[in-house]
Amino acid sequence: METFLASEKVSDLVRHLSKNYTVIAPMAKGPAFVFAEVEDPAAVVLDYNTTILPPKKFFMPAKEELLNFNRSTGDAAVPQAQSAPKVLLGVHSYDMQGILRLDELMKDGNPDKAYIARRQNTLFIGVAFTPDEYHFSESVGIGIFDMEGFDAFLTPAAGGYILKTLTPEGEKLLKGFSGAPVAAKPKAAAVFQKKIMPDLARIPSILDKAYGGAVWKNNGDKCLSCGSCNLVCPTCYCFDVRDEVNLDMTTGCRSRLWDACQTAPFAEVAGGENFRHKRESRVRHRAYRKFRYLSDKYPKPFCVGCGRCNRACTAKISIVEMINEAAASV
């Protein structure tokens, strides 16, 4: 199905989706944007640059209870992750690709049951975007109109959007919703300003040759080890596990929390040894994690080109410039 959705009718689409699903969509938060559950359909914003955090937060929460325990009785209860039917509306292609990459990782080996439970019963409606000075998804093979993983997709056109269903689930989702006949032509794709210069297939071999290069020290000297780049990344999934005892000193909770490989204690082990105590080694590890290590198993980079790490970096370190510098050095 393909229909025209006028800009002023976006709220009607949200109301239609809300009849049977929890709707999550981008909304303004000060000068930025966030994915959040929709309470007011008029608050949904489809024309946005990017959100502060990727939609992975709905499947992998920043803090997640693994079990509740009682030290006196020895009892422990494991909370069960729930997944009510939901629709993520207004998702960009790079964020969808981030979810698809996490799907592979979380289902491989020992599957992450909590992630899989939250991921079920979720449909996605994508929207094309206009790249700004941070986006570089085209450099990692993800186009503005990449529709993989979506159940429906919105393409900007004069006065609104062309709404196209892509899966049988998407057809059911939009059954009963009527738009207008498609008359307007879709807007042409905009040009990316930020680009990784070497071909994608060459990056792993470039990084092999650049392992001892000066690019890592140059950027490591600037890095503040805050971990912001990790926390906003759509494909970072490292975590820490902590036990917290309540004030009664009897009951408590074991939680899983997002962790960041760029912070100094991340690679520290018992006895005080730290396998990446230098900032340059941590900066290098992040670049290799996105473009080298996981590529040995999965034929794709685990950077989706959203540019969030570059936006969030307080030291203005750019992973694009690091890869380009590494390529130039070899």
b/e sequence 62-94, b meaning 16+ C-beta within 10 Å: eebebeebeeeeeeeeeeebebeebbbbbbbbb
Helix (H) or strand (E) holding 100: helix 93-107
Is the pLDDT confidence value at 40 over 90?
yes
For residue 188, the model assigns a pLDDT of 78
For residue 262, the model assigns a pLDDT of 97
Q: What percent of the chain has pLDDT over 90?
A: 90
The DSSP output letter for 142 is -
CA nearest neighbour of 94 among 156, 47, 60, 50: 50
For residue 90, the one-letter residue type is: G
For residue 323, the model assigns a pLDDT of 97
For residue 181, the model assigns a pLDDT of 74
Token digits of residue 103: 């799907």
pLDDT 10s digits, 79-93: 887 778 999 999 999
For residue 142, the model assigns a pLDDT of 97
Residue 1: pLDDT band by 50, 70, 90 thresholds? confident
For residue 296, the model assigns a pLDDT of 84
Average pLDDT of 196-219? 96
For residue 83, the model assigns a pLDDT of 79
CA nearest neighbour of 319 among 173, 203, 178, 156: 203
Nearest-angstrom CA–CA distance, 119 and 198: 35
pTM metric for this prediction = 0.94
Is the pLDDT confidence value at 297 over 90?
no
Token digits of residue 87: 């629709």
Is the pLDDT confidence value at 10 over 80?
yes
Listed by start position, the domains of the chain span 2-173, 200-329
How many helices (H) and strands (E) in the chain? 10, 11
For residue 190, the model assigns a pLDDT of 85
Average pLDDT of 206-228? 96
Query: Judging by DSSP bridges, how do beta strands 152-157 and 122-127 pair with one another?
Result: parallel
Is the pLDDT confidence value at 112 over 80?
yes
Query: Do 187 and 130 form a contact (C-beta atoms < 8 A)?
Result: no
Residue whose pair of structure tokens reads 């071999």 in the numeric block: 205
Give percent helix, percent strand, percent coil of the chain, each to the nearest 5: 30, 20, 45
